[in-house]
A and B are shown apart, each in its own frame.
Chain A
């Protein structure tokens, strides 16, 4: 799956105009907060908290045009929903790695 969906990003560029860089900054900032939150919640055993955190990250990733990142979040959300709490640290690691890639690619656009 693609790291970035350029159709979506082009539309966003048109919509945001001068604010596109701000949008990318906000996304990076927001995503760092969400990754931190995920780190915190997977230490515990409350599946619903994990599910919600993953769900929100999924939403913002899909909106910014990062489908692969969104699908990794979606997989985590589904696991939590199924109350399957095995190997969450690996999942989060994969999300973090993908986010780093996405951030680099996004920065190159703005």
Chain B
């Protein structure tokens, strides 16, 4: 008959006939009726029955319809309980009074069944709409609360992982929103063992948690590697590879990374995707831009990744300014962007370098205006200064590094029972790779060690004649014999001695390998005729090329090489 579901409707009227008529009409419409004879009773029935719609006579004994309406609306709270006043009052004032008391509509006597039916339908629609809205509102509130709660927890974790490191150094100033990580901005800084400072400002694509996620591996890699002395290029590669593996396509990190050496007053800088950084020259009062010459972190595979950096010789009081695009893209009320032009103006119009930092922020905030607060600003200033004035760590490291070198030696002996099952090379290489500046030379060092160790083992300990290898039959004989002897060997040794020493520009690695064999007549050896010679092979020629010289000692059972390298940071 109608498409309104069965509702519970309260009819409150003190006139029995009127109530009887209304009850009948409502019931005819297929609804449930609960009744009351006065206002007080209406309120009680409302509490007990929670009807969907209330029909209230205006004038009733005990509590009139106006009072009952107020009470019911109060009890209903957020819920919409439509109240329709039944009245034979017709003056404007009385009708207004009905609505003021919280009534939603009125129905005049004598009752018209069609109109009542239409009103019930329309109010039911409104009621359902309201309850849907209320449910959705509650859901949104719940989601929002959960989101805030999750962000608080996430921020706590982020703050612990991506802490500000050594940003409290006296020559560093930075501006970063407290929720920057959720804007995708991350700023990390740490001291290297040599006393230089490494800083990375990153800007992940996107907003919210997806943008923040990448900050975790970035920061933990950064803080894991910088204090161990890894070079900037190693760290950049590591972060790039991690982000490339972890992040979905389309999320990456525009970043600038710097290694600031206060002792040598040098800046090494890599910019991948961030706006031009400024190097402010104190003496000249001018600015050099450092353009982005790389793709952001997390875009390229490590194979294609480019880690070449720019170098600057700086003077004391020179300043480096790094920013995310928040400054350039800050908009004013007209939708205009701040842009690099205005940024340069700040530099040309500010006479005191100390005021540049505040000047930039003020200029941006003034440009944006009071209306919208821009949380996206990330700005970093680093001033070149004496190590002793940066922080205590830089001072100590500088004192240490300025006057002394890192020097160690390591002795290692392989015993006869181990020749068959133990390969010492990975272990040695692992040790060497702990020296950060040697990491770049891992394959070179492996070649050198492998060649020398193989010679010592095969020609020295196992006494194999390399002349065997000159024919292809001899080649397989050689390896058969090697297999035989290595299974039988009961005496002999290979001693490996590695000496490491750094200097101002790099370092020197001396490798000395001694075997228990009989040696050979190295005096007869000539550099241009290596292959005809006892300890043979192109291998030694290669080592010679890599190290400059291969020196034999003793009876030829001792070999020495020196590998030197130059640090670029």
Chain A residues near B (Cβ < 8 Å): 8, 11-12, 15-16, 19, 22-23, 26-27, 29-30, 52, 55-56, 58-60, 62-65
Q: For chain B residues 504-521, which have a beta carbon within 8 Å of chain A? A: none
Nearest-neighbour CB distance to chain A for B61, whole angstroms, equals 9
Nearest-neighbour CB distance to chain B for A55, whole angstroms, equals 6
Whether B88 pairs with A59 at a CB distance below 8 angstroms is yes
Whether A56 pairs with B21 at a CB distance below 8 angstroms is no
Whether B109 pairs with A12 at a CB distance below 8 angstroms is no
Whether A16 pairs with B109 at a CB distance below 8 angstroms is no
Whether A55 pairs with B110 at a CB distance below 8 angstroms is no
Q: For chain B residues 87-114, which have a beta carbon within 8 Å of chain A? A: 88-89, 109-111, 113
Nearest-neighbour CB distance to chain B for A82, whole angstroms, equals 13
Separation of A110 and B547 alpha carbons in the complex (Å): 126
Whether A52 pairs with B17 at a CB distance below 8 angstroms is no
Separation of A45 and B367 alpha carbons in the complex (Å): 77
Whether B15 pairs with A30 at a CB distance below 8 angstroms is yes
Whether A26 pairs with B17 at a CB distance below 8 angstroms is yes
18 further contact pairs, Cβ within 8 A, besides A15-B21, A15-B24:
A8-B110, A12-B21, A16-B20, A16-B21, A19-B24, A23-B17, A23-B20, A27-B17, A30-B17, A52-B59, A55-B59, A55-B88, A59-B18, A59-B88, A59-B109, A62-B110, A63-B15, A64-B21
The contact size tier of chain B is 10 to 19
Q: A12-B21, A23-B20 are in contact. Are A56 and B59 (CB under 8 A)?
A: yes
Chain B residues near A (Cβ < 8 Å): 14-18, 20-21, 24-25, 28, 59, 88-89, 109-111, 113
Whether B16 pairs with A26 at a CB distance below 8 angstroms is yes
Q: A15-B25, A55-B59 are in contact. Are A65 and B110 (CB under 8 A)?
A: yes
Chain B residues, CB < 8 A from A56: 14-15, 59
**Contact with B21, one of A29, A52, A55, A63 (Cβ below 8 angstroms):** A63
Query: At the interface, is chain A mostly helix, strand, loop or mixed?
Result: helix
Separation of A98 and B111 alpha carbons in the complex (Å): 22
Separation of A12 and B18 alpha carbons in the complex (Å): 11
**Contact with A63, one of B18, B59, B89 (Cβ below 8 angstroms):** B18
Nearest-neighbour CB distance to chain B for A106, whole angstroms, equals 11
**Contact with A29, one of B16, B59, B88, B109 (Cβ below 8 angstroms):** B16
Separation of A11 and B24 alpha carbons in the complex (Å): 12
Whether A16 pairs with B15 at a CB distance below 8 angstroms is no
Chain A CB within 10 Å, residue with most, of B14, B17, B18: B17
Whether A60 pairs with B17 at a CB distance below 8 angstroms is yes
CB nearest neighbor in A for B90: A74
**Contact with B111, one of A16, A23, A55, A63 (Cβ below 8 angstroms):** A63
Separation of A30 and B333 alpha carbons in the complex (Å): 71
Whether B109 pairs with A22 at a CB distance below 8 angstroms is no
Separation of A53 and B21 alpha carbons in the complex (Å): 20
**Could you list some 16 contacts between A and B, CB below 8 A?**
A11-B113, A12-B21, A15-B21, A15-B24, A19-B20, A19-B24, A22-B20, A23-B21, A26-B16, A27-B17, A30-B17, A52-B59, A55-B59, A60-B17, A62-B88, A63-B18
